[in-house]
């Protein structure tokens, strides 16, 4: 797993970096002052929020967590994307 973040102190702190190491999470950080580094993932999170969270109600966090992987699979395998010529990324 790769976690891309900005260079905020919460992500560069030794305690956080150690936790990432224990969990085998590779850290990736954007350049200081560059808002474009996170633009793609922020757009993806916006799509997730609009297409899943705003259309479905989850009673528990567990229910939401169970639904997200299915949404990601649909997003990659079935949902048509305009940058791909209205094809699926898959």
pLDDT in tens, 47-69: 888 888 888 888 999 998 899 99
* DSSP output for 6-30: ---HHHHSHHHHHHHHHTTPEEEEP
| pTM confidence score | 0.55
pLDDT of the residue at 81? 79
CA-based max dimension of the chain: 44
């Amino acid at each position: 797993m790769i976690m891309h973040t900005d260079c905020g102190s919460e992500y560069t702190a030794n305690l956080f970096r150690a936790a990432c190491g224990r969990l085998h999470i590779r850290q990736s950080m954007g350049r200081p002052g560059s808002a474009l580094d996170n633009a793609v993932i922020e757009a993806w999170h916006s799509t997730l929020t609009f297409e899943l969270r705003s259309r479905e109600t989850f009673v528990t966090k567990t229910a939401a967590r169970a639904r997200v992987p299915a949404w990601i699979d649909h997003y990659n395998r079935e949902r048509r994307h305009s940058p791909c010529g209205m094809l699926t990324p898959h």
